[in-house]
Amino acid sequence: DIVLTQSPLSLPVTPGEPASISCRSSQSLLRSNGYNYLDWHLQKPGQSPQLLIYLGSIRASGVPDRFRGSGSGTNFTLQISRVEAEDVGLYYCMQTLQTPHTFGQGTKLMIK
């Protein structure tokens, strides 16, 4: 199975400040079509997860442009340019390159 390792696991952030989450994969997630099969999901408190970023860097519909996904191969980053109170929750990276699909452990973003 592909193992995804996220860091940090806990991320306190002051509103208006930037935040960054890393996701490292045990295998390259780059397919021959040029796409990285790495997605980011946010699980807000008491809710089901929601897709933020897919194929490494493409924002899902309705996702604010303060969210940015980057990286390729085995190293990926989710950046939030200016954190807002509504961004609190658990952030998960997920690979869909091969089955079983796997998730990172989750990063809990909280407001200072």
Binding segment for other proteins among 17-25, 43-51, 63-71, 73-81 (CB under 8 A)? Answer: 43-51
Binding segment for other proteins among 11-19, 20-28, 69-77, 88-96 (CB under 8 A)? Answer: 88-96
Q: In the complex, what is the shortest distance from the CB of residue 65 to other proteins, in angstroms, rounded to a whole number?
A: 18
> Does 60 interact with other proteins (rule: CB under 8 A)?
yes
- Give the tokens for residue 92: 């998960």
In whole angstroms, what is the distance from residue 15 CA to residue 34 CA? 35
CB atoms within 10 A of CB 48: 7
Q: In the complex, what is the shortest distance from the CB of residue 60 to other proteins, in angstroms, rounded to a whole number?
A: 7
